[in-house]
Amino acid sequence: MNKPDWVLESASGLVCGLSYLESPHCDERPAGCAPDLLVIHAISLPEGEFGGDDVTDLFLGRLDVGSHPDYAGLQDLQVAAHFFIRRDGSVLQFVPVHRRAWHAGISEYRGRSRVNDFSVGVELEGCDDQIFEDDQYQALVW
């Protein structure tokens, strides 16, 4: 994987060079609250399966929860990360970084509650029992 030419445009909160798919699962950060934490998650839908569009559909609020038995609990779930890194290292952006993505739920970090307020969320396409791909790690560090 070659080093990408990604540049964060501060006015829009978007990274130039990435595909942007606008998620409705976000809102404004509290006044004066800038992100200072990176939260890295793993996700696959269905669990352990990679390469489909179901994660994207979940983040965009259009997942057909009837399409798989495991999705019943996802009905009415409103969730999105700022970025999603696929197994091949390609990156999609769903929420501008200056906005609050709904990725961390009810959470706390080092005594600070409401982690979504001060974090940027990155989802790696994967699961707990499989290693991530080198291309994903490369995308994550750039």
Domain holding 113: CATH number? 3.40.80.10
Residue 3 has pLDDT above 70, yes or no: no
pLDDT, tens digit (0-9, with 9 covering 90-100), for 25-49 = 999 999 999 999 999 999 999 999 9
What distance in Å separates the CA atoms of residue 21 and residue 16, rounded to the nearest whole number?
13
Token output for 25: 């699962």
- How sure is the predictor about 142, in pLDDT bands with cuts at 50, 70 and 90? confident
Handedness of CA 115, 117, 120, 124 (dihedral sign): positive
3-state secondary structure of 122: strand
Which range marks the domain in which residue 123 is found?
A: 18-141
Position 12 in a domain: no
Count of domains for the chain: 1
Position 3 in a domain: no
β pairing state of 108-109 and 37-43? unpaired
Position 113 in a domain: yes
Residue 2 has pLDDT above 70, yes or no: no
Is the bond leading into 96 cis (omega within 30 degrees of zero)? no
Position 77 in a domain: yes
Residues involved in catalysis:
123
Give yes or no for a contact between 94 and 84, defined as CB atoms under 8 angstroms apart.
Answer: yes
Give yes or no for a contact between 38 and 72, defined as CB atoms under 8 angstroms apart.
Answer: no
β pairing state of 83-85 and 119-125? parallel
- How sure is the predictor about 5, in pLDDT bands with cuts at 50, 70 and 90? confident
- DSSP class of residue 133? P
> pTM of the predicted model, to two decimals?
0.94
Q: What is the mean pLDDT of the chain?
A: 95
